[in-house]
Amino acid sequence: MTRSKQPSAQTIEQLQQRFHEFEHEKTRVETNRENAKRRLQLLKSEALEKYGTGDLKALEDQLQQLKIENEEKRVNYQKELDLIEQRLAEIEEKFADIHVENDSP
Domain spans in the chain, listed from the N-terminal domain onward: 11-54, 55-105
- What secondary structure letter does DSSP report for 40? H
Interval 88-97: pLDDT, tens: 999 999 888 7
- Cβ-Cβ contacts under 8 Å for 45 (sequence gap 6 or more): 54
DSSP 52: S
Q: What is the mean pLDDT of residues 13-22?
A: 96
- % of the chain exceeding 90 in pLDDT: 79
**Does residue 82 contact residue 71 with C-beta atoms inside 8 Å?**
no
pLDDT score, position 5: 67
Query: Quick check: pTM over 0.75?
Result: no
Determine the Cα–Cα distance for residues 105 and 102; give it in Å rounded to an integer.
8
